[in-house]
Amino acid sequence: MVRLSCSQNTQDGYTLMETVTAIFVLSIIMYSFTLGASTVFKHAGTHWQTFRSLNLRFSLHNVFTGTMSRISPPFWEQHNIEISPSGITASIPYLDGTHNSILLLDLQDGRLIISEETIERRRALFQIEGMQNASFAPAVNSITGRIDGIILETTLKSSSSKGLKEKVQVTGYFASRTARPEGNAR
């Protein structure tokens, strides 16, 4: 006769309670990781938007003021800047001190296009995107009454989902006026 008996369980295994506990602990760890990662990505996006906004402001300021400083009119001549009535285009002579070299500023489709026009050719120097409601105005010296630069007023577009807009005013001043005409050198 064969006797049936439970054999000794020699296989190492996990009980149901151990398995449920392990799953519970892993789910808490995964939830914490997911929550932390989503917070990091949300803040990284916010910082990226701030970086883009600052980069646009920096580029606009440097390009605009740098280009305006290339305008060098002679001191004896009244500066004749042509700004359109709508304020979206401007024409400024004496680029690099030459009468026939004209700096053209044009605002179209949210872009500032800075061009140089001479007798021989016209070429674009810079193009900056990301502006709306932009206009030019002369920067008049309150003491002398002369035009010493150009003011660009604009609203920078934000690419964030909140649609924030930032008003910016940049003034580009011309280089100091030449002391005497080239033909009158001593």
Q: What is the pLDDT of residues 47-82, one digit of tens each?
A: 777 777 778 888 888 888 888 888 888 777 767 788
The answer to whether residue 28 is domain-embedded is no
Whole-number Å distance between alpha carbons of 147 and 127: 25
User: What pLDDT score was predicted for residue 30?
Assistant: 92
> For 21-35, 54-68, 147-161, which range has the lowest pLDDT when averaged over its residues?
147-161
The answer to whether residue 147 is domain-embedded is yes
Whole-number Å distance between alpha carbons of 174 and 71: 5
User: What pLDDT score was predicted for residue 29?
Assistant: 92
Confidence of residue 11 (pLDDT cuts 50, 70, 90): low
The answer to whether residue 5 is domain-embedded is no
Confidence of residue 172 (pLDDT cuts 50, 70, 90): confident
Read off the pLDDT of each residue in 39-50 and give the average, rounded to a whole number: 76
- What's the domain range around 113? 48-184
The answer to whether residue 1 is domain-embedded is no
Confidence of residue 4 (pLDDT cuts 50, 70, 90): low
The answer to whether residue 85 is domain-embedded is yes
Q: Is residue 106 a contact partner of residue 91, using CB atoms and an 8 Å limit?
A: no
The answer to whether residue 16 is domain-embedded is no
Extended strands (E) in the chain: 82-83, 89-95, 98-108, 111-117, 122-129, 131-140, 147-156, 166-173
Confidence of residue 13 (pLDDT cuts 50, 70, 90): low
Read off the pLDDT of each residue in 82-104 and give the average, rounded to a whole number: 85
Count of domains observed in the chain:
1
Read off the pLDDT of each residue in 111-124 and give the average, rounded to a whole number: 86
Q: Is the pLDDT of residue 27 over 90?
A: yes
Tokens of 73: 């009119």
Q: Is residue 182 a contact partner of residue 99, using CB atoms and an 8 Å limit?
A: no
Confidence of residue 7 (pLDDT cuts 50, 70, 90): low
The answer to whether residue 12 is domain-embedded is no
Read off the pLDDT of each residue in 83-94 and give the average, rounded to a whole number: 85
User: What pLDDT score was predicted for residue 5?
Assistant: 61
Confidence of residue 26 (pLDDT cuts 50, 70, 90): very high
